[in-house]
Chains A and B, each alone.
Chain A
Amino acid sequence: MTINIFGLFAEVVGGLFIGSLFGFLLQKAGVTDFRTIKNQLLLKDFTVMKVILSAIVTGSLGLYIYRNFINEQSLIINSTTLKAAFYGGAIFGVGMATLGFCPGTCIGALAEKSKAAFWGIAGMLIGAFSYSKLATFIQKHFKPQESICKTTLDEQLGVSPLIIILFLAFFIVIIKTLDKKNLIRKNK
């Protein structure tokens, strides 16, 4: 098997472009600082939740409009089982709490010359290697082909996506109000 260095030109250029915008935004939010993520899990600073929730609300609203009025393009949901998503999330959570980065923000932090990010990436390489050795076992027990589930919340609950988006937007309002009233302990 010969593997080329570069893939399709459009994919590489597109990935670089989208990634640059993504990295710029992550840095501007301050999530490339491990303190921001650690303080989120210590419930001191809700920046991470605010970023994720507002990305979801904006993105899903746009997606709803695009798919309903412009082009009924199919969804691109990661192929996994519900059990694996939850357990994997828990393992990931332990790591994110210890390191203070997720893979994307760790790369961003590397641009800040963060020492923690450098050691984190070393750990990630060991993690990827270990997983590759256990992949067959985990695949068999946690991700059998027949349990792969790409269902969405609106499908599952039988409601319009707009109801769920509204609910998530309401969640942002709650966090914002709590933050304003200083009920969430401010970091500093």
Chain B
Amino acid sequence: MKKFLKKEKWSPYVVGSGIGAVFLMSYIFFKHTLGSSVSFVKLTAFLHQIIDQNAVKENPYYQDYLKSLAWIDWQVALVMGIFFGAYLSIKFSKKTDRFCKNKKNISIRAKLLSLIGGFFVIFGARFAGGCTSGHAISGGIQLALSGYLFMAGVFLAGIPTAFLARKIFRGDYI
């Protein structure tokens, strides 16, 4: 067991089945599904509120996500948990060059690409009403048509974008 936890990488089928089980636990015991993108709206609203006291009052979209009247609710706690879980996983693993590669500084072009990519990721997720965890995994498990249409959109647009970005940005891309 200890050896298994220490392994740097698990089979994608093992991880996938585990995620299926995690979804079931959250659905059965907490009556919630997995989702990450809403937390980014809340974080934005929180930061915005610090700069401008009336930010939430004047923005009906922020208010939609603050109906629970709490900054840290299920969704935000889930995202904090993801950070904590990933951190634990790294601590258990033997360090390899993969981590060092990730920590490495990146070029200005790569930073800009990441910034633009992040913009589209959340804009798209909020447009669609969910992201990979909300639509693809939670929606997919519940066989929701919207989840499968979301995945179709992601791959249909993502594949040509990836090929184009690799062609233009080469080393700065991957």
Contacts and interface: CB of A to CB of B under 8 A. Distances in A.
Nearest to A126: B119
A43 B159 contact: yes
Contact of B102 (A7, A23, A33, A132): A33
Contacts of A14: 26, 29-30, 32, 74, 77
29 contacts: A1-B69, A3-B66, A11-B77, A23-B81, A24-B88, A28-B10, A33-B98, A41-B155, A41-B161, A42-B174, A50-B16, A56-B141, A62-B21, A78-B129, A88-B124, A89-B135, A94-B161, A95-B117, A95-B118, A95-B120, A96-B120, A98-B116, A102-B132, A107-B36, A111-B83, A112-B90, A121-B118, A124-B40, A128-B44
Given A25-B18, A29-B15, A89-B128, A82 B159 contact: no
A63 B141 contact: yes
A72 to B, nearest CB: 12
Nearest to A172: B13
A80 B16 contact: no
Interface string B137-172: 111111111111111111111110111011000000
Interface residues of B, number: 131
A41 B154 CA distance: 9
A183 interface: no
A138 B29 CA distance: 34
Interface in A27-57: 27-30, 32-35, 38-39, 41-43, 47, 50-57
A110 to B, nearest CB: 6
Contact of B127 (A34, A131, A161): A131
Interface in A52-70: 52-63, 66
A19 B85 contact: yes
B105 A115 contact: yes
Instruction: Determine chain B's interface SS by DSSP, over half rule.
Output: helix
A90 interface: yes
Interface in A117-171: 117-132, 135-136, 138, 142-143, 149-154, 156, 161, 164
Interface of B: 7, 9-10, 12-13, 15-37, 39-41, 43-45, 47-48, 56-57, 59-63, 66, 68-90, 98-99, 102-106, 110-159, 161-163, 165-166, 173-174
A21 B119 contact: no
Instruction: Determine chain A's interface SS by DSSP, over half rule.
Output: helix
A168 B23 CA distance: 18
Contacts of A96: 117, 120-121, 132, 154, 158
B41 A123 contact: no
Nearest to A79: B129
A136 B59 CA distance: 10
B174 to A, nearest CB: 5
Contacts of B144: 75, 77-78, 150-153
B157 A90 contact: yes
Most chain B CB atoms below 10 A, which of A73, A90, A149, A161: A90
B145 A41 contact: no
A13 B66 CA distance: 19
A141 B104 CA distance: 43
Contact of A25 (B15, B56, B60): B15
Nearest to A187: B174
B130 A78 contact: yes
Contact of A41 (B16, B81, B103, B162): B162
